[in-house]
Each structure stands twice: as structure tokens, then as C-alpha cells.
Amino acid sequence: SSHCVLNNGYSQEKYTFKDTDGKHINAHGGGILFHKGTYYWYGEIKEGESYSMPSGSRRVDAGGVSCYSSKDLKNWKNEGVVLAANTTDPNHDLHISKVIERPKVVYNKKTKKYVMWMHVDSEDYSYARSAVAVSDKATGPFTYIESVRPNGYIARDMTLFVDDDGKAYHFFSSEDNKTMHIALLSDDYLKHTTTYKRIFIEKSREAPAVFKYKKRYYIVTSGLTGWHQNEANYGSSDEILGDWTNYGNPCKGKDAHIPYYGQGTFVIPVNAKKNKFIFMADKWNERDLKSSTYLW
């Protein structure tokens, strides 16, 4: 119930990222795939009216997953809906009454398929599963496969990371959001293996964004306060399934305690060899989720 924190001191306009049609980019909780010279931005479609749940939390109908493409990270072409929400079957994982969040897409060199993982949930967030979809093209359409509880654990906020050796890892908030899991995916990226590591035990971190720099792995996470901003932390480890150390807040200056009114979602390795990365965050507007903006 702290509507007042939203966009304080910042103009909405500045954080409205427009596509090449001049429309506000609709790709929240997003992630970027860089493939054959093109950046693909996938994210949550947030459309229609936001409304309050009995618990007081705010939601908008699940809108599926969008994709935008760009050569320069500045001019974004709308590639349309790559995974649609279901409007007819309330039991379907992707039904509009559910939650589809933080979709991330990776490319599998062996199968030549584009694999999407996302967080699917019921509107009270008790379903807490990870879902997978696959496509032959970066711009979809993706075919929905299934949702799972990885190794029997609940899964909410998540990201994917593909290492230099082609192995893919699924990072997700688990165990009632108290502990983060890193699970190794199968070679085709469509399943979880039984290899996983629990990190930041009982530290209640979410919104993971992962990158690698000079053989070391880094993660940026948020705390756990729903749509409301909180302090980011960063951590690192020499081994991806090793013992990660959590450091403090990586942000500096005005509003650094609430990442400048943003919550992280992804880190783009623009030119990792030259130490160039872009941190992507969402500026959630819980009163009207579709007008949430971005901060990079």
C-alpha cells in the first residue's frame, strides 16, 4: 500500500522505451538473447486494467510473451506475441487468470532450437512452477511444453544463464522464496537434471540477473517486497555451482537503496571482453502495471 514510492522524482517519459512504431515497449521482467548479430528482447506482455486481489496485491491478466528485435539495442522492432496467453481454458498454465513472468530465451546449438523458460503461477502465487516452451525461430511462435517443479521444489522469480561450454543453468527463487537454486538443465535445455546448488540460504533473494566476467560469475538480486522497490545485492562465485558470496548493494548515489526505483531482470553482456554490460531493470507501476517502465 505504498503507491507513493512510484517514479518519485523521475519523469515517466524518460523511462518509456519506444519501439520503431513509437509504442511503449511491452516486455516486462524481460531478458535478451543475442544471436547472429541481432538482439532479441523477450518479456511479459502487460495489457488491460490492473486490479487488486483479496490479499491487497495488484495484478493484471497474464498476457503472454512478446519479442522485440534490434541490431543496436536502441531501435526495437516489435516481433509480436511469441507465446500467447490462453483465453479459453482456466486450467491451462498460460490462462489469462494465471501469472506468466520473467520469460528468458536461450539458443541451443545442438538442437538448433530456441528454448524459453518462465515462471508460471496461479493468481495467489501458490502454483509456483517453471514452464518451458520451444521454437525453431527466435521470433517464434513458441510451442508450450509443460510446467514443472524442478527436482520437486517450488520455483518463482528466475533467469537462465548459458556458460561458455554450452551448459545452461536455471536460477530461481525457491523454498518459499527464501533460498535460491541453480539447476543444471539437460543438454537440450528442456528438462532439469538432478544437479543443483542451493545458494543464499534463507537470505530471501529474488529477481536474479546473472553474468560472467573474466571466468567469474556474478549475480544481481533484489529483496522480496513484491512490486515495491528494495535494495539490490550482488554476489559472485568462481564456480557456477560453487559457494556464492553475497556482497552488498552495487548501486551508488541518489536512490541507490532502491535501485533508482527499479528491480533487476537481466544483465546484457554487450562486450564482456571489454567489461561492457548493461543492467536491465523494471520500474513497476503497481497501480497500472501496463505502464511500468524500464531502467537500464
Residue number, 233 or 263, with CB nearest to ligand GAL: 263
Interatomic CA distance for residues 274 and 150, integer angstroms: 35
Report the residue number, 184 or 251, with the smaller CB distance to ligand GAL: 251
Position among 47, 84, 127, 226 found at the interface with ligand GAL (CB under 6 A): 226
Nearer to ligand GAL by Cβ, of 263 and 293: the residue is 263
Q: How far lies 37's CA from each of 33, 67, 76, 213, 278, in Å?
A: 10, 16, 14, 21, 17
Name the minimum Å distance from CB 86 to ligand GAL. Answer: 19
Q: What's the min distance (Å) between Cβ of 174 and ligand GAL?
A: 14
Q: Could you tell me the smallest distance in angstroms from the CB atom of residue 129 to ligand GAL?
A: 13
- Total chain residues near ligand GAL (CB under 6 A): 10
Cell matching residue 205 = 533473494
Taking the complex as a whole, the smallest distance from the CB of residue 3 to ligand GAL amounts, in Å, to 14
Q: Which of residues 29-68 bind ligand GAL (CB under 6 A)?
A: 29, 57
**Interatomic CA distance for residues 174 and 153, integer angstroms:** 7
- The contact pattern for ligand GAL, residues 1-30, with x = CB under 6 A and - = no contact, is ----------------------------x-
Q: Which residue sits closest to ligand GAL, CB atoms considered?
A: 226
The reply to whether omega before 103 is within 30° of 0 (cis) is: no
- State which residue, 223 or 250, has the beta carbon closest to ligand GAL: 223
Question: Which cell goes with 72?
Answer: 543496436
171 part of the interface to ligand GAL, by CB under 6 A? no
If the CB atoms of residues 76 and 227 are measured against ligand GAL, the closer one turns out to be 227
| C-alpha separations of 218 from 35, 73, 221, 266, 269 in Å | 22, 22, 10, 12, 12
At residue 13, the 3 state secondary structure works out as: helix
Q: Is 207 in the site for ligand GAL (CB under 6 A)?
A: yes
Which of 135, 159 has the CB closer to ligand GAL? 159
> Whole-angstrom Cα distance, residue 25 to residue 23?
6
Report how far apart, in Å, the C-alpha atoms of 88 and of each of 47, 125, 217, 218 are.
17, 21, 42, 41
Alpha carbons 94 and 71: distance in angstroms, whole number: 30
From CA 144, how far away is CA 60, in angstroms rounded?
21
- Using CB under 6 A as the binding rule, the residues of this chain from 85 to 144 that contact ligand GAL are 101-102
Residues 192 and 150: beta-carbon distance below 8 Å? yes
157 binds ligand GAL (CB under 6 A): yes
| Residues making contact with ligand GAL (CB under 6 A) | 29, 57, 101-102, 157, 206-207, 226-227, 263
